[in-house]
Structure 1
Amino acid sequence: MTLRADLFFSFRSPYSYLAVARYRAMAEEYDLAIALRTVLPIAIRDPSILFAGNPNVGRYIFIDAARSAQMLGIPYRWPRPDPVVQNLATREIAQEQPHIHRLCRLGQTAERRGRGLAFADEVSRVIWSGAVDDWHEGDHLAEAAARVGLDFAELEAEAQHDAHALDAEIAANQQTLEAAGHWGVPTLVFEGEPFFGQDRIAMAQWRMEQRGLEKRA
């Protein structure tokens, strides 16, 4: 029996990047379907919350994400450019955001085709691995889409022409995450139970094994 789960994910979250390849590998090894549920990062969704917290939070995330990647052996560098246009010193968020809405809509179009998880993994590698600069230009995203059998031009056209419906789907994803009992990413929700963080993957697998998770034949 195929088990099903939802991965709530942000293209701006370093921890989402550190989690998505491992969840993809799990779904390929086990009889498991994981749907990608893209959400807007908190810097866009509700910057008042972002600015209300302790100013050390940002610095800690920079340190912890880098050392987590090092421990896991995952290539990592803060993106160039950042998916969210923001002055990290002052935390000021730009009015114009050319990247993050595009990425979220593309992720949602990929999920409409049943390839969201794989697409998010490949695109996150382009953005976060440090292998390229200017990930948003040239053929970087198109090549990531092609690696999972998707036509990037088709995705891009749908993301532009169906933007309103896609944004509604993304907003609904956030509401579903909150209804499941969490607000952050990455969060895997399985049978209504949230597993938050890239360090809860083994625990999520343990729970699914209790429900009969088996390797693919």
Structure 2
Amino acid sequence: MTFTYDLYWSFRSPYSYFVMKRLVELERDYDVACNVRVVYPIAVRQPDFFDNNDPLWIQYFMRDIFRCAEFLEIPFSWPSPDPVVMDMATRKYPKEQPYIYRLTQLGQAATEAGKGLAFLDEVSRTIWGGEVKGWHEGDHLAKAAERAGLNLAELDAKIATDPDHYDKAIKASQDAQREGGHYGVPLMVFDGEPFFGQDRFDQMKWRMEQKGLAIR
């Protein structure tokens, strides 16, 4: 029996990037299928979310993401540009966002084309892997899509024909995310049980093994 799980995932989350390699390997090596549910980052869904955070939150976050990358032995750098534009003077997120809406809609389109996990993997490595500056320029995204078995221009064209469809699909995933048991990413939900955070991957796999996870 093929196990399935829902993956709630954001292009702005370094932790979402950190878990991708393990999710790809899980599907490659075991009888598992990932149901990709791309969502907008919390900074887009709730722009005031970070207003009341203790100042220690951002200090710890910045230390932790680089430590996680080092521990996991994954190439990492804060992306240039940030997928979500922030006013550094006020630490506010303007409503006008030039990157994240397209990225998330592309993720939805790739998912509907049957290549969601591969697309997320390739694009997140392009954005977060540290080798590409100006990931939004030139053919960086096109090459990432090609490595995932997709054509970027075709994905953009599909979105342009019916953008409301993709917005509604993303909104449905955000609603389902909360029903799944958390608001953050990455969130993996297997057999009704939520596993929040890249550091919960081993627990999800452990639960799958308890229920008879099969090697391909």
Q: What TM-score do the two structures reach when normalised by structure 2?
A: 0.97
The SS at the match of 1:48 is: coil
Q: What does the per-residue CA deviation read over 1:22-78, in whole Å, with 9 as the maximum and x for residues that have no partner?
A: 111111110000021101101110112221222322222111011100111000000
The SS at the match of 1:117 is: helix
Q: 2 CA distance for matches of 1:114 and 1:33?
A: 11
The aligned residue for residue 72 of structure 1 is: 72
2:100 equivalent to 1:100: yes
- Is the 2:47–2:92 Cα contact (8 Å) retained in structure 1? no
Q: What TM-score do the two structures reach when normalised by structure 1?
A: 0.96
2:141 equivalent to 1:155: no
Q: Which moves more between the two structures, 40-49 or 89-98? A: 89-98
The SS at the match of 1:23 is: helix
Q: What does the per-residue CA deviation read over 1:120-154, in whole Å, with 9 as the maximum and x for residues that have no partner?
A: 01000000011111101111111111112111111
The aligned residue for residue 129 of structure 2 is: 129
The aligned residue for residue 57 of structure 1 is: 57
- Is the 2:107–2:116 Cα contact (8 Å) retained in structure 1? yes
The aligned residue for residue 184 of structure 1 is: 184
Q: 2 CA distance for matches of 1:177 and 1:165?
A: 18
The SS at the match of 2:19 is: helix
Mapping of residues 1-217 of structure 1, within 5 Å: 1-88=1-88, 90-216=90-216
- Is the 1:42–1:50 Cα contact (8 Å) retained in structure 2? no
Amino acid in structure 2 at the alignment position of 1:179 = E
The SS at the match of 1:51 is: coil
Instruction: Give how far 1:204 is off.
Output: 0.4
- Is the 2:16–2:198 Cα contact (8 Å) retained in structure 1? yes
- 4+ aligned runs moved over 6 Å, structure 1: none
Percent of pairs with identical residues:
51
- Is the 1:135–1:141 Cα contact (8 Å) retained in structure 2? yes
Q: 2 CA distance for matches of 1:194 and 1:80?
A: 32
Q: 1 CA distance for matches of 2:74 and 2:90?
A: 29
Aligned-residue RMSD, C-alpha: 1.1
Q: 2 CA distance for matches of 1:52 and 1:163?
A: 33
Instruction: Give how far 1:192 is off.
Output: 1.0
Q: 2 CA distance for matches of 1:203 and 1:89?
A: 40
The SS at the match of 1:34 is: strand
Instruction: Give how far 1:95 is off.
Output: 3.0
Q: What does the per-residue CA deviation read over 1:137-180, in whole Å, with 9 as the maximum and x for residues that have no partner?
A: 11111111111211111111122222111011111111111001
Instruction: Give how far 1:88 is off.
Output: 4.2
- Is the 1:9–1:39 Cα contact (8 Å) retained in structure 2? yes
Q: 2 CA distance for matches of 1:191 and 1:69?
A: 29
